[in-house]
């Protein structure tokens, strides 16, 4: 029996990292290589799994509780390679491989700008990660980061030679993206006969995404023209963001619509997508918006947007945390004629990305 390739990530539903790992698993399995999707937990219903993949639920209540189940999985299933994503899971993958005495080739993937991720020294978890992550990552067989800028930064933060951190873009532009985008939009603001343009933001309601700056920018836009702002996502900042919108007098035109497993019909119908993040790695949703032909405006945050947008050729880039510049860029995007042409984005296609990962995982010869 052929030994599988294992992908370790938090859960099979949710944000950009989860979608990327599911896409990567589908792409590897499509080449006839068995794939185990090893997840810390499954919150709610399990989505349809790609053919050739198996879901392994470690059923951990907290991330740290992944370790015993992961050790057991490595001993029993004996994957030939393990790719993990997320700093805490990456550290646990290193520990589990050693404890299981597994011969799996281990690749850890960095999906965020590490310097910003480690900046909050007051958080005990961040303090611990800053000390544990560099030592753990040096024990992996390879380290991958999702953009060139993120890879360069990671090598510096981890104190590793630059050639030890390889940049591989995410497999984002898939047939499933376009199939889902063709579905009906669930939100009434996005009706085909609408007369008011709708801006879309998407992501966890957390400081990293800086939706506060987006709402302040939207208030400036709204003072000059009719518009609405739809934000898809959940998180700890919901109440503060709602209070901010109400306080700026735009509460009726801002909907914090919550998390959805299928945001693509809404994304495809938005008049513009806005990324307001303070930091990223390679923002998946920005690539998805481009692929669907949606006008985009983004902060030039570390890291990823400048590479995706080719320094501003594919969409506007503005400084992070600058609501005035963001509002001006949104107004220009809304006023500019746009024919919804979908650009060619081969660098983000599974065909291009999967083979790069297989080479790093050491299984290309079997594909």
List, for residues 309-349, the tens digit of each pLDDT value: 999 999 999 999 999 999 999 999 999 877 777 888 999 99
Rounded Cα–Cα distance for residues 35 and 25 (Å): 6
Closest CA to 18 of 120, 171, 236: 171
Instruction: Give yes or no for residue 216 having a pLDDT over 80.
Output: yes
If phi over 0 gives left and psi between -120 and 50 gives alpha, with beta otherwise, what is residue 58?
alpha
Instruction: Give yes or no for residue 123 having a pLDDT over 70.
Output: no
Least confident of 229-238, 266-275, 285-294, 332-341: 332-341
**Confidence (pLDDT) at 224:** 98
Structure tokens at 156: 């510096």
Domains in the chain (CATH in brackets) are: 5-171+349-366 (3.40.50.2000), 175-346 (3.40.50.2000)
Instruction: Please give the average per-residue pLDDT across 215-232, as a whole number.
Output: 98
Per-residue confidence band for 47, with pLDDT thresholds at 50, 70 and 90 = confident
Rounded Cα–Cα distance for residues 363 and 158 (Å): 26
**Confidence (pLDDT) at 337:** 79
Instruction: Give yes or no for residue 121 having a pLDDT over 70.
Output: no
Q: Would you say 241 and 232 are in contact if contact means Cβ atoms under 8 Å apart?
A: no
Q: Which residue has the higher pLDDT, 64 or 56?
A: 56
Q: Would you say 31 and 4 are in contact if contact means Cβ atoms under 8 Å apart?
A: no
**Confidence (pLDDT) at 153:** 94
**Confidence (pLDDT) at 329:** 98
Full-model pTM: 0.88
Structure tokens at 367: 């594909």
**SS percent in the chain: helix, strand, coil, step 5:** 45, 15, 35
């Amino acid at each position: 029996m052929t030994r599988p390739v294992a992908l370790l990530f938090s859960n099979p539903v949710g944000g950009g990292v989860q979608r990327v790992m599911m896409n990567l698993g589908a792409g590897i399995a499509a080449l006839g290589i068995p794939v185990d999707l090893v997840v810390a937990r499954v919150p709610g219903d399990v989505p349809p799994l790609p053919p050739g993949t198996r879901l392994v639920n470690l059923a951990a209540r907290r991330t740290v509780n992944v370790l015993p189940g992961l050790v057991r999985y490595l001993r029993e299933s004996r994957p030939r390679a393990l790719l993990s994503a997320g700093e805490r899971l990456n550290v646990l993958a290193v520990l589990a491989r050693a404890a299981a005495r597994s011969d799996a080739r281990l690749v850890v993937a960095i999906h965020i700008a590490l310097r910003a991720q480690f900046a909050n020294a007051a958080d005990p978890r961040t303090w611990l990660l800053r000390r544990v992550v560099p030592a753990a990552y040096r024990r992996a067989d390879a380290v991958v980061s999702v953009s060139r800028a993120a890879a360069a930064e990671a090598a510096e933060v981890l104190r590793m030679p630059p050639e030890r951190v390889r940049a591989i873009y995410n497999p984002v532009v898939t047939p499933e993206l376009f199939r889902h985008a063709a579905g009906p939009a669930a939100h009434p603001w996005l009706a085909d006969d609408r007369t008011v343009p709708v801006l879309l933001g998407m992501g966890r309601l957390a400081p990293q995404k800086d939706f506060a700056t987006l709402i302040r920018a939207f208030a400036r836009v709204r003072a000059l023209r009719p518009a609405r702002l739809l934000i898809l996502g959940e998180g700890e900042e919901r109440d503060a963001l709602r209070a901010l919108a109400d306080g700026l007098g735009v509460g009726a035109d801002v909907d914090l619509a919550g998390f959805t497993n299928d945001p693509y019909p809404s994304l495809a119908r938005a008049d513009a997508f806005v990324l307001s993040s303070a930091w990223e790695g390679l923002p998946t949703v920005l690539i998805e918006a481009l692929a669907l032909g949606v006008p985009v405006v983004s902060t030039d945050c570390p890291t990823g947007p400048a590479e995706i947008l080719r320094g501003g050729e594919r969409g506007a880039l503005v400084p992070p945390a600058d609501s005035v510049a963001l509002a001006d860029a949104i107004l220009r995007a809304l006023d500019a004629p746009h024919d919804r042409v979908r650009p060619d984005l081969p660098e983000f296609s599974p065909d291009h990305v999967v083979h790069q990962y297989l080479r790093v995982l050491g299984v290309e010869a079997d594909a």
